[in-house]
Structure 1
Protein backbone atom coordinates (compact mmCIF):
# COMPACT_ATOMS: atom_id res chain seq x y z
CA UNK A 1 0.00 0.00 0.00
CA UNK A 2 1.36 3.39 -0.95
CA UNK A 3 2.10 6.10 1.59
CA UNK A 4 -0.59 8.25 -0.02
CA UNK A 5 -3.19 5.50 0.36
CA UNK A 6 -2.27 5.10 4.02
CA UNK A 7 -2.54 8.80 4.70
CA UNK A 8 -5.89 9.02 2.92
CA UNK A 9 -7.26 6.50 5.41
CA UNK A 10 -5.64 8.33 8.31
CA UNK A 11 -6.90 11.69 7.03
CA UNK A 12 -10.44 10.36 6.73
CA UNK A 13 -10.14 8.91 10.25
CA UNK A 14 -10.78 5.44 8.88
CA UNK A 15 -7.45 4.46 10.44
CA UNK A 16 -5.88 5.77 13.64
CA UNK A 17 -2.12 5.77 14.18
CA UNK A 18 -1.14 3.78 17.28
CA UNK A 19 2.64 3.90 16.77
CA UNK A 20 4.78 4.96 13.83
CA UNK A 21 3.83 2.66 10.93
CA UNK A 22 1.19 0.90 13.04
CA UNK A 23 -2.49 1.74 12.60
CA UNK A 24 -5.79 0.41 13.82
CA UNK A 25 -9.21 0.56 12.28
CA UNK A 26 -11.43 3.22 13.82
CA UNK A 27 -14.10 0.54 14.15
CA UNK A 28 -11.96 -1.36 16.69
CA UNK A 29 -11.04 -0.31 20.22
CA UNK A 30 -7.45 -0.32 21.41
CA UNK A 31 -7.90 -3.16 23.89
CA UNK A 32 -5.02 -4.19 26.18
CA UNK A 33 -4.29 -7.14 23.90
CA UNK A 34 -4.41 -4.92 20.82
CA UNK A 35 -1.92 -2.60 22.53
CA UNK A 36 0.46 -5.54 23.02
CA UNK A 37 0.13 -6.50 19.36
CA UNK A 38 0.66 -2.91 18.23
CA UNK A 39 3.86 -2.61 20.26
CA UNK A 40 5.15 -5.90 18.83
CA UNK A 41 4.33 -4.78 15.27
CA UNK A 42 6.15 -1.49 15.83
CA UNK A 43 9.26 -3.29 17.10
CA UNK A 44 9.30 -5.89 14.32
CA UNK A 45 9.93 -9.64 14.19
CA UNK A 46 13.30 -9.32 15.88
CA UNK A 47 11.65 -8.16 19.12
CA UNK A 48 10.07 -10.33 21.80
CA UNK A 49 7.39 -9.58 24.38
CA UNK A 50 8.87 -10.29 27.81
CA UNK A 51 7.99 -9.96 31.48
CA UNK A 52 4.51 -8.71 32.32
CA UNK A 53 3.80 -8.09 28.63
CA UNK A 54 4.70 -11.68 27.81
CA UNK A 55 2.65 -13.05 30.70
CA UNK A 56 -0.34 -11.00 29.58
CA UNK A 57 0.01 -12.28 26.00
CA UNK A 58 -0.01 -15.84 27.36
CA UNK A 59 -3.15 -14.94 29.37
CA UNK A 60 -1.39 -15.85 32.61
CA UNK A 61 -2.59 -12.66 34.27
CA UNK A 62 -5.49 -10.24 34.02
CA UNK A 63 -3.14 -7.43 34.93
CA UNK A 64 -1.90 -5.70 31.80
CA UNK A 65 1.34 -3.72 32.03
CA UNK A 66 1.30 0.05 31.96
CA UNK A 67 4.53 -0.10 29.99
CA UNK A 68 5.01 -2.87 27.42
CA UNK A 69 8.49 -4.40 27.56
CA UNK A 70 10.14 -5.76 24.42
CA UNK A 71 13.54 -7.40 24.23
CA UNK A 72 15.11 -6.07 21.03
CA UNK A 73 18.63 -7.50 21.10
CA UNK A 74 21.93 -5.87 21.92
CA UNK A 75 21.96 -3.76 18.75
CA UNK A 76 18.27 -3.30 18.11
CA UNK A 77 15.71 -0.73 19.02
CA UNK A 78 14.84 2.83 18.14
CA UNK A 79 13.48 5.37 20.57
CA UNK A 80 10.31 3.66 21.78
CA UNK A 81 6.92 5.35 21.62
CA UNK A 82 4.98 6.22 24.76
CA UNK A 83 3.94 3.17 26.71
CA UNK A 84 6.67 0.94 25.24
CA UNK A 85 10.05 0.07 26.74
CA UNK A 86 12.82 -1.61 24.79
CA UNK A 87 15.37 -3.81 26.53
CA UNK A 88 18.73 -4.42 24.89
CA UNK A 89 18.69 -8.12 25.56
CA UNK A 90 18.86 -10.97 23.12
CA UNK A 91 16.23 -13.70 23.26
CA UNK A 92 17.38 -16.67 21.24
CA UNK A 93 15.08 -18.41 18.79
CA UNK A 94 14.85 -21.40 21.13
CA UNK A 95 13.70 -19.17 23.99
CA UNK A 96 10.77 -17.57 22.18
CA UNK A 97 7.78 -18.64 20.16
CA UNK A 98 5.29 -16.99 17.82
CA UNK A 99 1.82 -17.02 19.36
CA UNK A 100 -1.13 -15.55 17.49
CA UNK A 101 1.25 -13.68 15.22
CA UNK A 102 3.40 -12.17 17.98
CA UNK A 103 6.86 -13.23 19.17
CA UNK A 104 6.81 -13.83 22.91
CA UNK A 105 9.17 -15.36 25.46
CA UNK A 106 8.36 -18.93 26.45
CA UNK A 107 5.51 -19.18 28.92
CA UNK A 108 7.56 -20.03 32.02
CA UNK A 109 10.21 -17.38 31.27
CA UNK A 110 7.59 -14.68 30.83
CA UNK A 111 5.72 -15.79 33.95
CA UNK A 112 8.79 -15.84 36.19
CA UNK A 113 10.14 -12.50 34.97
CA UNK A 114 6.70 -10.95 35.38
CA UNK A 115 6.31 -12.39 38.87
CA UNK A 116 9.70 -11.06 39.95
CA UNK A 117 8.80 -7.59 38.67
CA UNK A 118 5.49 -7.55 40.56
CA UNK A 119 6.95 -8.17 44.01
CA UNK A 120 6.53 -11.06 46.41
CA UNK A 121 2.76 -11.17 46.96
CA UNK A 122 1.54 -10.26 43.47
CA UNK A 123 4.28 -12.35 41.92
CA UNK A 124 3.30 -15.34 44.05
CA UNK A 125 -0.34 -14.96 42.99
CA UNK A 126 0.63 -14.93 39.32
CA UNK A 127 2.76 -18.07 39.57
CA UNK A 128 0.28 -19.86 41.83
CA UNK A 129 -2.52 -19.16 39.37
CA UNK A 130 -0.45 -20.29 36.39
CA UNK A 131 0.54 -23.50 38.16
CA UNK A 132 -3.06 -24.22 39.17
CA UNK A 133 -4.18 -23.88 35.57
CA UNK A 134 -1.45 -26.22 34.36
CA UNK A 135 -0.13 -23.43 32.17
CA UNK A 136 3.41 -24.10 33.35
CA UNK A 137 5.13 -26.75 35.45
CA UNK A 138 7.84 -26.73 38.09
CA UNK A 139 10.53 -28.13 35.73
CA UNK A 140 9.85 -25.28 33.30
CA UNK A 141 10.06 -22.76 36.15
CA UNK A 142 13.43 -24.17 37.21
CA UNK A 143 14.71 -23.86 33.64
CA UNK A 144 13.43 -20.29 33.46
CA UNK A 145 15.25 -19.45 36.70
CA UNK A 146 18.49 -20.86 35.30
CA UNK A 147 18.10 -18.84 32.10
CA UNK A 148 17.69 -15.61 34.10
CA UNK A 149 21.36 -15.79 35.06
CA UNK A 150 22.14 -12.77 37.21
CA UNK A 151 19.58 -10.41 35.70
CA UNK A 152 17.72 -7.93 37.84
CA UNK A 153 15.01 -9.69 39.85
CA UNK A 154 16.74 -13.05 40.04
CA UNK A 155 16.91 -13.01 43.86
CA UNK A 156 13.15 -12.64 44.16
CA UNK A 157 12.63 -15.11 41.31
CA UNK A 158 14.72 -17.65 43.20
CA UNK A 159 12.55 -17.23 46.30
CA UNK A 160 9.34 -17.52 44.26
CA UNK A 161 10.49 -20.77 42.68
CA UNK A 162 11.40 -22.14 46.12
CA UNK A 163 7.93 -21.21 47.39
CA UNK A 164 6.33 -22.85 44.36
CA UNK A 165 8.26 -26.06 45.01
CA UNK A 166 6.58 -26.41 48.39
CA UNK A 167 8.42 -23.90 50.52
CA UNK A 168 5.33 -21.72 51.03
CA UNK A 169 3.77 -24.09 53.55
CA UNK A 170 6.95 -24.63 55.56
CA UNK A 171 7.66 -20.89 55.51
CA UNK A 172 4.10 -20.21 56.67
CA UNK A 173 4.55 -22.67 59.54
CA UNK A 174 7.77 -20.95 60.64
CA UNK A 175 6.10 -17.53 60.41
CA UNK A 176 3.16 -18.76 62.48
CA UNK A 177 5.48 -20.12 65.17
CA UNK A 178 7.42 -16.83 65.29
CA UNK A 179 4.26 -14.75 65.52
CA UNK A 180 2.83 -16.77 68.38
CA UNK A 181 6.15 -16.72 70.25
CA UNK A 182 6.60 -12.97 69.81
CA UNK A 183 3.08 -12.41 71.11
CA UNK A 184 4.01 -14.58 74.13
CA UNK A 185 1.17 -16.97 73.42
CA UNK A 186 1.92 -20.31 75.07
CA UNK A 187 0.21 -23.64 75.50
CA UNK A 188 0.53 -24.78 71.89
CA UNK A 189 2.34 -27.71 70.30
CA UNK A 190 3.61 -27.94 66.75
CA UNK A 191 2.82 -31.05 64.71
CA UNK A 192 0.72 -32.77 67.35
CA UNK A 193 -0.34 -36.33 66.36
CA UNK A 194 -3.94 -37.25 67.16
CA UNK A 195 -5.80 -40.52 66.51
CA UNK A 196 -9.18 -40.09 64.86
CA UNK A 197 -11.59 -43.05 64.99
CA UNK A 198 -12.47 -44.23 61.50
CA UNK A 199 -9.76 -42.06 59.93
CA UNK A 200 -6.46 -42.91 61.52
CA UNK A 201 -3.66 -40.70 62.73
CA UNK A 202 -3.59 -37.04 61.79
CA UNK A 203 -0.95 -34.46 62.61
CA UNK A 204 -2.22 -31.02 63.58
CA UNK A 205 0.04 -28.20 62.44
CA UNK A 206 -0.43 -26.16 65.64
CA UNK A 207 -2.54 -27.46 68.50
CA UNK A 208 -3.78 -25.95 71.75
CA UNK A 209 -4.61 -29.28 73.36
CA UNK A 210 -6.24 -27.80 76.48
CA UNK A 211 -8.63 -25.71 74.39
CA UNK A 212 -9.03 -28.36 71.68
CA UNK A 213 -8.05 -25.71 69.14
CA UNK A 214 -6.17 -26.61 65.95
CA UNK A 215 -4.45 -24.18 63.56
CA UNK A 216 -4.03 -25.62 60.08
CA UNK A 217 -1.50 -23.98 57.74
CA UNK A 218 -1.92 -23.85 53.97
CA UNK A 219 0.72 -22.87 51.41
CA UNK A 220 -0.05 -22.07 47.78
CA UNK A 221 -3.30 -23.29 46.21
CA UNK A 222 -1.25 -25.04 43.49
CA UNK A 223 -0.36 -27.82 45.93
CA UNK A 224 -3.99 -28.59 46.78
CA UNK A 225 -5.15 -30.64 43.83
CA UNK A 226 -8.58 -32.29 43.78
CA UNK A 227 -7.46 -35.41 45.68
CA UNK A 228 -5.55 -33.40 48.27
CA UNK A 229 -8.44 -30.97 48.68
CA UNK A 230 -10.87 -33.85 49.22
CA UNK A 231 -8.54 -35.59 51.69
CA UNK A 232 -8.01 -32.37 53.65
CA UNK A 233 -11.76 -31.84 53.85
CA UNK A 234 -12.43 -35.35 55.14
CA UNK A 235 -9.58 -35.06 57.61
CA UNK A 236 -10.83 -31.71 58.93
CA UNK A 237 -14.36 -33.10 59.32
CA UNK A 238 -13.02 -35.90 61.51
CA UNK A 239 -10.95 -33.46 63.56
CA UNK A 240 -14.06 -31.36 64.20
CA UNK A 241 -16.15 -34.43 65.04
CA UNK A 242 -13.39 -35.35 67.48
CA UNK A 243 -14.13 -32.19 69.43
CA UNK A 244 -11.59 -29.80 67.96
CA UNK A 245 -12.21 -26.36 66.56
CA UNK A 246 -10.17 -25.69 63.42
CA UNK A 247 -8.81 -22.39 62.15
CA UNK A 248 -7.12 -22.30 58.74
CA UNK A 249 -4.55 -19.70 57.73
CA UNK A 250 -2.65 -19.40 54.47
CA UNK A 251 0.80 -18.21 53.48
CA UNK A 252 -0.85 -15.19 51.85
CA UNK A 253 -2.69 -14.18 55.03
CA UNK A 254 0.46 -14.45 57.11
CA UNK A 255 2.32 -12.28 54.60
CA UNK A 256 -0.39 -9.66 54.10
CA UNK A 257 -1.75 -9.39 57.62
CA UNK A 258 0.80 -10.59 60.18
CA UNK A 259 -1.45 -9.62 63.08
CA UNK A 260 -4.35 -11.79 61.97
CA UNK A 261 -3.11 -15.10 63.39
CA UNK A 262 -2.37 -13.70 66.85
CA UNK A 263 -5.73 -11.93 66.95
CA UNK A 264 -7.79 -14.94 65.90
CA UNK A 265 -5.93 -17.25 68.29
CA UNK A 266 -6.47 -14.91 71.22
CA UNK A 267 -10.17 -14.65 70.44
CA UNK A 268 -10.50 -18.41 70.05
CA UNK A 269 -8.70 -19.10 73.33
CA UNK A 270 -10.87 -16.49 75.09
CA UNK A 271 -13.99 -18.11 73.67
CA UNK A 272 -12.81 -21.44 75.11
CA UNK A 273 -12.31 -19.92 78.55
CA UNK A 274 -15.76 -18.30 78.49
CA UNK A 275 -17.39 -21.56 77.36
CA UNK A 276 -15.68 -23.43 80.20
Structure 2
Protein backbone atom coordinates (compact mmCIF):
# COMPACT_ATOMS: atom_id res chain seq x y z
CA UNK A 1 0.00 0.00 0.00
CA UNK A 2 1.40 3.40 -1.01
CA UNK A 3 1.52 6.04 1.73
CA UNK A 4 -0.31 9.21 0.61
CA UNK A 5 2.01 12.15 0.03
CA UNK A 6 1.80 15.46 1.90
CA UNK A 7 -0.38 17.25 -0.65
CA UNK A 8 -2.85 14.33 -0.76
CA UNK A 9 -3.17 14.45 3.03
CA UNK A 10 -3.80 18.20 2.88
CA UNK A 11 -6.46 17.65 0.22
CA UNK A 12 -8.01 14.89 2.34
CA UNK A 13 -8.29 17.25 5.32
CA UNK A 14 -10.01 19.87 3.15
CA UNK A 15 -12.39 17.27 1.73
CA UNK A 16 -13.19 15.83 5.17
CA UNK A 17 -13.87 19.23 6.73
CA UNK A 18 -15.02 21.68 4.07
CA UNK A 19 -15.51 24.24 6.83
CA UNK A 20 -11.86 23.79 7.90
CA UNK A 21 -8.77 25.71 6.80
CA UNK A 22 -5.19 24.41 6.72
CA UNK A 23 -3.14 26.39 9.20
CA UNK A 24 -0.03 26.65 11.38
CA UNK A 25 2.98 24.62 10.16
CA UNK A 26 0.95 22.93 7.43
CA UNK A 27 0.10 26.34 5.96
CA UNK A 28 3.76 27.32 6.33
CA UNK A 29 4.73 24.26 4.26
CA UNK A 30 2.23 25.18 1.55
CA UNK A 31 3.70 28.70 1.46
CA UNK A 32 7.15 27.14 1.04
CA UNK A 33 8.56 28.22 4.40
CA UNK A 34 8.99 24.93 6.26
CA UNK A 35 9.76 21.26 5.48
CA UNK A 36 6.92 18.78 5.07
CA UNK A 37 4.95 18.42 8.31
CA UNK A 38 4.77 15.19 10.28
CA UNK A 39 1.57 16.19 12.05
CA UNK A 40 -0.87 18.17 9.92
CA UNK A 41 -2.71 21.18 11.33
CA UNK A 42 -6.01 22.83 10.46
CA UNK A 43 -8.41 25.33 11.99
CA UNK A 44 -12.15 24.64 12.24
CA UNK A 45 -15.07 26.74 13.54
CA UNK A 46 -15.13 27.07 17.31
CA UNK A 47 -18.53 25.37 17.71
CA UNK A 48 -17.47 22.11 16.02
CA UNK A 49 -16.58 19.00 18.03
CA UNK A 50 -14.94 16.32 15.89
CA UNK A 51 -12.30 13.66 16.49
CA UNK A 52 -9.43 13.84 13.98
CA UNK A 53 -7.09 11.00 12.95
CA UNK A 54 -3.83 10.77 14.90
CA UNK A 55 -1.84 12.54 12.15
CA UNK A 56 -4.06 15.65 12.27
CA UNK A 57 -4.26 18.37 14.91
CA UNK A 58 -7.29 20.66 14.94
CA UNK A 59 -7.60 24.16 16.39
CA UNK A 60 -11.04 25.63 17.04
CA UNK A 61 -11.26 29.29 16.09
CA UNK A 62 -13.62 31.43 14.02
CA UNK A 63 -11.59 33.00 11.22
CA UNK A 64 -12.69 36.19 9.44
CA UNK A 65 -12.86 35.91 5.64
CA UNK A 66 -9.69 38.01 5.00
CA UNK A 67 -7.70 35.44 7.01
CA UNK A 68 -8.29 32.70 4.39
CA UNK A 69 -6.52 32.28 1.03
CA UNK A 70 -6.29 29.60 -1.66
CA UNK A 71 -2.88 28.01 -2.16
CA UNK A 72 -2.45 25.19 -4.69
CA UNK A 73 -6.27 24.92 -4.82
CA UNK A 74 -6.49 24.36 -1.05
CA UNK A 75 -8.03 26.66 1.59
CA UNK A 76 -5.22 28.00 3.76
CA UNK A 77 -4.99 30.74 6.36
CA UNK A 78 -3.42 33.96 5.05
CA UNK A 79 0.36 34.24 5.10
CA UNK A 80 0.25 36.69 8.02
CA UNK A 81 -2.06 34.38 9.98
CA UNK A 82 0.14 31.35 9.21
CA UNK A 83 3.22 33.19 10.48
CA UNK A 84 1.40 34.31 13.62
CA UNK A 85 0.13 30.76 14.26
CA UNK A 86 3.67 29.38 13.89
CA UNK A 87 4.95 32.02 16.30
CA UNK A 88 2.40 30.82 18.84
CA UNK A 89 3.10 27.07 18.65
CA UNK A 90 6.75 26.70 17.61
CA UNK A 91 9.78 26.91 19.93
CA UNK A 92 11.19 30.43 20.02
CA UNK A 93 14.61 29.42 18.70
CA UNK A 94 13.06 27.76 15.64
CA UNK A 95 10.45 30.38 14.87
CA UNK A 96 12.63 33.49 15.26
CA UNK A 97 14.45 32.84 11.98
CA UNK A 98 11.11 32.10 10.26
CA UNK A 99 9.58 35.37 11.45
CA UNK A 100 12.64 37.38 10.41
CA UNK A 101 12.79 35.75 6.97
CA UNK A 102 9.11 36.05 6.08
CA UNK A 103 8.60 39.56 7.45
CA UNK A 104 11.39 40.50 5.04
CA UNK A 105 9.93 38.59 2.13
CA UNK A 106 6.29 37.46 2.06
CA UNK A 107 4.38 38.87 5.05
CA UNK A 108 3.47 42.51 5.60
CA UNK A 109 4.83 43.51 9.05
CA UNK A 110 1.78 45.73 9.58
CA UNK A 111 -0.57 42.76 9.02
CA UNK A 112 1.42 40.69 11.48
CA UNK A 113 1.31 43.56 13.98
CA UNK A 114 -2.47 43.85 13.56
CA UNK A 115 -2.85 40.14 14.35
CA UNK A 116 -0.77 40.60 17.50
CA UNK A 117 -3.30 43.23 18.58
CA UNK A 118 -6.37 41.24 17.48
CA UNK A 119 -5.21 38.09 19.28
CA UNK A 120 -3.86 39.91 22.33
CA UNK A 121 -5.55 37.52 24.78
CA UNK A 122 -4.64 34.34 22.94
CA UNK A 123 -2.14 31.89 24.36
CA UNK A 124 1.27 32.58 22.84
CA UNK A 125 0.41 36.08 21.61
CA UNK A 126 2.97 37.77 23.92
CA UNK A 127 5.69 35.62 22.36
CA UNK A 128 4.56 36.69 18.88
CA UNK A 129 4.64 40.36 19.88
CA UNK A 130 8.15 39.92 21.28
CA UNK A 131 9.32 38.26 18.07
CA UNK A 132 7.96 41.19 16.08
CA UNK A 133 9.47 43.78 18.41
CA UNK A 134 12.94 42.31 18.02
CA UNK A 135 12.68 41.20 14.39
CA UNK A 136 15.84 41.55 12.30
CA UNK A 137 14.07 42.87 9.23
CA UNK A 138 16.95 43.81 6.92
CA UNK A 139 19.60 41.26 7.87
CA UNK A 140 21.44 39.94 4.82
CA UNK A 141 22.70 36.70 6.39
CA UNK A 142 22.01 34.35 9.28
CA UNK A 143 24.90 35.72 11.43
CA UNK A 144 23.58 39.26 10.90
CA UNK A 145 20.06 38.14 11.80
CA UNK A 146 21.22 36.51 15.02
CA UNK A 147 23.32 39.53 15.99
CA UNK A 148 20.50 41.95 15.13
CA UNK A 149 18.16 40.16 17.55
CA UNK A 150 20.79 40.10 20.30
CA UNK A 151 21.31 43.85 19.98
CA UNK A 152 17.59 44.54 20.00
CA UNK A 153 17.08 42.38 23.09
CA UNK A 154 19.64 44.60 24.85
CA UNK A 155 17.71 47.74 23.97
CA UNK A 156 20.38 48.77 21.48
CA UNK A 157 18.99 48.07 17.98
CA UNK A 158 21.30 49.20 15.19
CA UNK A 159 20.21 49.95 11.64
CA UNK A 160 20.93 46.94 9.43
CA UNK A 161 22.45 47.42 5.96
CA UNK A 162 22.34 51.17 6.44
CA UNK A 163 23.92 53.65 3.99
CA UNK A 164 27.10 55.57 4.90
CA UNK A 165 27.93 57.98 2.12
CA UNK A 166 28.51 55.90 -1.03
CA UNK A 167 28.75 52.70 1.01
CA UNK A 168 26.67 50.80 3.55
CA UNK A 169 27.38 49.00 6.81
CA UNK A 170 26.07 45.69 8.14
CA UNK A 171 24.99 47.56 11.31
CA UNK A 172 25.15 51.30 11.88
CA UNK A 173 24.62 53.61 14.85
CA UNK A 174 24.65 57.17 13.52
CA UNK A 175 24.67 58.87 16.91
CA UNK A 176 27.71 56.96 18.15
CA UNK A 177 29.15 56.86 14.60
CA UNK A 178 29.87 53.14 14.86
CA UNK A 179 29.80 50.64 12.01
CA UNK A 180 29.68 46.90 12.76
CA UNK A 181 30.82 44.49 10.05
CA UNK A 182 30.19 40.73 10.04
CA UNK A 183 32.78 39.07 7.82
CA UNK A 184 31.88 35.84 6.05
CA UNK A 185 34.09 33.38 4.17
CA UNK A 186 34.24 35.48 1.03
CA UNK A 187 36.02 38.22 3.00
CA UNK A 188 38.96 35.87 3.66
CA UNK A 189 38.90 33.81 0.47
CA UNK A 190 38.38 36.37 -2.32
CA UNK A 191 41.19 38.93 -2.78
CA UNK A 192 38.98 41.37 -4.70
CA UNK A 193 36.41 41.42 -1.88
CA UNK A 194 39.19 42.07 0.64
CA UNK A 195 40.74 44.93 -1.37
CA UNK A 196 37.40 46.64 -1.98
CA UNK A 197 36.56 46.32 1.69
CA UNK A 198 39.87 47.96 2.69
CA UNK A 199 39.11 50.97 0.48
CA UNK A 200 35.61 51.18 1.90
CA UNK A 201 36.78 50.94 5.51
CA UNK A 202 39.50 53.58 5.00
CA UNK A 203 36.88 56.00 3.67
CA UNK A 204 34.55 55.32 6.59
CA UNK A 205 37.32 55.79 9.17
CA UNK A 206 38.48 59.04 7.56
CA UNK A 207 34.92 60.32 7.95
CA UNK A 208 35.16 59.83 11.73
CA UNK A 209 33.46 56.46 12.22
CA UNK A 210 34.61 53.58 14.42
CA UNK A 211 34.53 50.21 12.64
CA UNK A 212 34.07 46.99 14.64
CA UNK A 213 34.66 43.75 12.74
CA UNK A 214 33.60 40.23 13.74
CA UNK A 215 33.87 36.88 11.97
CA UNK A 216 30.53 35.30 11.10
CA UNK A 217 31.68 32.10 12.83
CA UNK A 218 32.24 33.97 16.11
CA UNK A 219 28.87 35.73 15.83
CA UNK A 220 27.07 32.40 15.55
CA UNK A 221 29.16 30.79 18.30
CA UNK A 222 28.99 33.63 20.83
CA UNK A 223 26.33 36.17 19.81
CA UNK A 224 25.75 37.30 23.40
CA UNK A 225 29.43 38.14 23.99
CA UNK A 226 29.74 40.06 20.74
CA UNK A 227 26.48 41.94 21.29
CA UNK A 228 27.68 43.00 24.76
CA UNK A 229 30.93 44.29 23.26
CA UNK A 230 29.05 46.32 20.65
CA UNK A 231 26.60 47.75 23.18
CA UNK A 232 29.48 48.84 25.43
CA UNK A 233 31.20 50.61 22.54
CA UNK A 234 28.01 52.32 21.36
CA UNK A 235 27.11 53.61 24.81
CA UNK A 236 30.65 54.81 25.51
CA UNK A 237 30.87 56.80 22.30
CA UNK A 238 27.31 58.11 22.68
CA UNK A 239 28.22 59.58 26.08
CA UNK A 240 31.14 61.37 24.49
- Range of TM-score over shorter length: 0.5 to 0.7
**Correspondence for 1:37:** 11
Question: How many pairs align?
Answer: 194
Q: Aligned residue for 2:200?
A: 238
1:217 to partner: Cα distance: 6.7
* Contact preservation (8 Å) 1:36, 1:57: no
Tell me how far 1:63 sits from its aligned partner: 2.7
8 Å contact kept, 1:53–1:68: yes
- Cα 1:238–1:102 shift into 2, 3 Å: same
Question: Cα gap change, 1:246/1:77 in structure 2, threshold over 3 Å: closer, same or farther?
Answer: same
Look at both structures and tell me which one has the larger radius of gyration over its CA atoms: 1
Matched, 1:140 2:111: yes
**Alpha-carbon contact 1:131-1:137 (below 8 Å) kept:** yes
Which residue number in structure 2 is paired with residue 261 of structure 1?
A: 226
1:137-176 matches, within 5 Å, as 137-164=108-135, 169=148, 171-172=150-151, 175=154
* Paired position in structure 2 for 1:58: 31
> What is the CA deviation profile of residues 221-260 of structure 1, one whole-angstrom value per residue up to 9, with x for unaligned ones?
xxxxxxxxxxxxx88752257598742478x947x74566
**CA RMSD for the aligned pairs?**
4.3
Task: Give the structure 1 partner of residue 187 of structure 2.
Answer: none
Change (3 A) 1:172 1:48: same
User: Which one of the candidate residues 96, 114, 120 is aligned to 2:92?
Assistant: 120
3-state DSSP of counterpart to 1:75: coil
Partner of 1:181: none
Please list the CA deviations of residues 131-170 of structure 1 after superposition, one character each: whole Å capped at 9, or x if unmatched.
Answer: 333x111112112222323111101100111123769847
Please say if 1:216 is aligned against 2:189: no
Change beyond 3 A, Cα 1:164–1:30: same
Write out per-residue CA displacement over residues 152-210 of structure 1, whole angstroms, 9 at most, x where no aligned residue.
11011001111237698475166498xxxxxxxxxxxx9xxxxx9x969x9966xxxxx
Q: Give the alignment's TM-score, normalised by structure 2.
A: 0.62
Taking a change above 3 Å as real, the CA distance of residues 93 and 204 of structure 1, as seen in their structure-2 partners, is closer
Distance (whole Å) between structure 1 residues aligned to residue 73 and residue 166 of structure 2: 54
| 123 and 258 in structure 1: CA distance in 2 versus 1, 3 angstrom threshold | same
Hey, what does 1:247 align to over in structure 2? Answer: 213
Pairwise CA distance, 1:62 = 2.5
Question: TM-score, structure 1 length as denominator?
Answer: 0.55
Separation of aligned partners in 1, 2:18 and 2:153 = 48
> Of 59, 62, 66, which residue of structure 2 is paired with 1:87?
59
Structure 1 portions without partners, runs of 5+? 1-15, 17-25, 178-189, 191-195, 206-213, 219-233, 266-276
